[in-house]
Amino acid sequence: MGIPVAVGGRSNLNIFDKDKVTRHLSANSGAFVSSILSSNDDKSYEEYFVDPDGKVRGIITTASYEARAYGVKTAMSVSEAKALCPHLKVIPPNYPLYHRLSNELKELLENEIPVIEQFSIDEFFGDVTGWIKDEDVLSFGKDIQALILQKLDLPISIGISRSKWIAKLTTEFAKPEGVKLLKESEVDEFIKDLPIKEFPGIGKKYQERLQSYGIETLGDIKKYKELFYSWKKPGIQLYNRVCGIDDEPVCAKGDRKSIGIGRTWDPLSDRAEVLRRLVILCRHISFLVHKSKVNPLTYSLKIKYQYRIKSKDYINTNRLFNETYFKEEIVKLFKKIDIHPSHAIVQVNITASNFQNNTKTTLNLFDYEDDLKQNSLNNSMQKLRDKFGLDIIKTAGEL
């Protein structure tokens, strides 16, 4: 206690290494999680954050209250955080642990609350309307907090309100480890003097736009209803959320709609190396497709060059998914959309989506027999990877 500590992360490029690395599959799904996980908890600060050339890499993903007192914030570079707080202890992430705890927390909440919506890996909305009486909701929140600490040893903060976004805002004022209830009659007074940057979803650009109208606080927003409603859906949505009148439901998220993976690296001009990395990413997606038991019919690829130049495209297919065909199509797609061959590439993203609905999809019968053979081989490879690790089988193109 009393020591400024932060967790930092960096783009996981060790999937491109030729050495075998132990990786885990996350049971979570959604935009806020990475499905392929590597454990780094055995690495020192120098091993994880410092490159051979001595350059410090990575960004802060979370910080203790002691670290925040020095100005250390989420999304700040590790080097900037160390400049603000030289004695800051920055530790590598342990993604398998975070995902296991997230899953356990979700299961616990689903047993205690009728409707749960996972907002991020460590944030959940819960709707207890008609389940818990208004006069009992604060004590219920404290009971849930105590149960989570008892079962999972996780200290948490809880914000309670009629509006999900006001509840999220209230949670910030319940920290650390508190439970805060904000009644409908208290919302106006609560938001009156809060800076606009405090509200979830108001980023720097939106702040600048609002400030150009003289809007500095959330209370100011309430005074400008006509202005926000003139901005149509985005403006109306923000106004209603800030005022606590959005009536947006807590929604249990359904099945995932896509499976994707991407990586960012230093500017890379060698196209052969880029293609090698694409093939490796395809292997990882193929494993996830197999585990998810889906048949994607759309493959998408995005390329980001230096100087913020981007290129993207997709293909639709009617083939049974198999790793060999997927790799071939992504390589073709790359060669098609690599429209700036003289520019270095800094990021690629691959997505498999449009999962097959057997009642609406007609498969390509001319390739069906070959696809069945490839599918059988693909299943055998994925079973080996499931048992012995994702790196147990690699194709020549990856080496």
Sheet holding 296-305, edge to edge: 258-268, 345-355, 296-305, 310-316
Supply the pLDDT for residue 45: 87
Which residue would you say has higher pLDDT here, 251 or 225?
A: 225
Say whether 177 is catalytic.
no
pLDDT for 125-138, tens place per residue?
999 988 899 999 99
pTM of this structure: 0.71
pLDDT given for residue 380 in this prediction: 67
Angle at the Cα of 337 (from 334 to 338), degrees rounded to 5?
Answer: 75
Identify the helix (H) or strand (E) that includes residue 218. Answer: helix 218-223
Using a CB cutoff of 8 Å and minimum separation of 24, what contacts does 363-370 make?
363/318, 363/319, 363/320, 364/317, 364/318, 364/319, 367/319, 368/320
Lowest mean pLDDT among 25-39, 191-205, 275-289, 381-395: 25-39
Q: What is the pLDDT of residues 58-101, one digit of tens each?
A: 999 999 989 999 999 988 999 999 999 999 999 998 888 888 89
Q: Which of 110, 123, 186, 329 is catalytic?
A: 123
Percentage of the chain modeled with pLDDT above 90:
60
Q: Stretch 313-321: mean pLDDT, rounded? A: 92
Rg for the chain, CA atoms, rounded: 24
Using pLDDT thresholds of 50, 70 and 90, give the confidence band for residue 390. low
User: CA 166 → CA 73, 211, 239, 269, distances in Å?
Assistant: 22, 21, 12, 47
pLDDT tier at 157, thresholds 50, 70, 90: very high
What pLDDT is recorded for position 32?
A: 45
CB distance 361 to 319 below 8 Å: no
Listed ranges 10-19, 296-305, 351-360; the one with the highest mean pLDDT: 296-305
